Amino acid sequence: MSLAAANKVQIVWKFGAMDDISWLAYDLGLLPSERIMLDGAITPQASDAELVQKSPALTAYLTKQMAVTSSGRACTPQVAPPTDIANLGTTVVFTCSGPVSQATVELQLLTDLEASYATIATGPDGTQATYTGYATTRDWSFDPTTAPAASDGFGAAGWTAWFPQGLPVAAAIGLPLAVGGTIWLVRTRRRSS
């Protein structure tokens, strides 16, 4: 998480594991029914990343599950078209009404499938916060005087200028709280209830 410009908060969501992408594909309704086993398990496939990356449902999901407010006003999200979601993640830039020194960031990524799913967000100066279905908002401090100069948007010059500076620092990395089939176990229990 970083500033892409003095008035723009940039969030890069990287997936902790391939199964996270598969679960997102499931959540977006992109997996064929034969991929869902009778017990509710899903076997991750590399092709799931391409399904998610090409789906217009990804933009709707991200703008529904992420929000940024600054100075009491909602910031407007814009999703960059992902080029390699499995390795680089996906980027959303929120344009705010003025320079951002404080922002409230809400993340509910994959918590619609499992509330204990965790996203570890890294912000300015290596500050970290954990988001779950039980803790969806955090306040962040930024220094707009150190932000890159504003670009014209998502054109080639704008995104290539943001990625080298912002990508390593601006990481929102999704990680399950427990190793292995946590989501699978919870989904299985829910289905048998």
* pLDDT tens digit sequence for 12-24: 999 988 989 999 9
Q: Mean pLDDT of all residues in the chain?
A: 80
pLDDT at 8 exceeding the cut of 50: yes
Judged against a pLDDT cut of 80, whether residue 167 lies above it is answered with: no
Residues 6+ apart with CB under 8 A from 57: 28, 29, 30
**Phi-psi region for residue 95, left (φ > 0), alpha (ψ -120 to 50) or beta?**
beta
Question: What is the per-residue pLDDT for 151?
Answer: 59
The SS3 call for residue 143 is coil
Token code pair at residue 182: 């946590």
Q: Across residues 162-167, what is the average pLDDT?
A: 34
Contact residues for 176 (Cβ-Cβ < 8 A; gap 6+):
16, 17, 20, 117, 118, 182, 183
pLDDT above 70 (res 188): no
Is the pLDDT score of 80 beyond 90?
yes
* pLDDT mean over 111-115: 90
Distance CA 127, CA 170 (A): 10
**Which pLDDT band holds residue 36 (cuts at 50, 70, 90)?**
confident
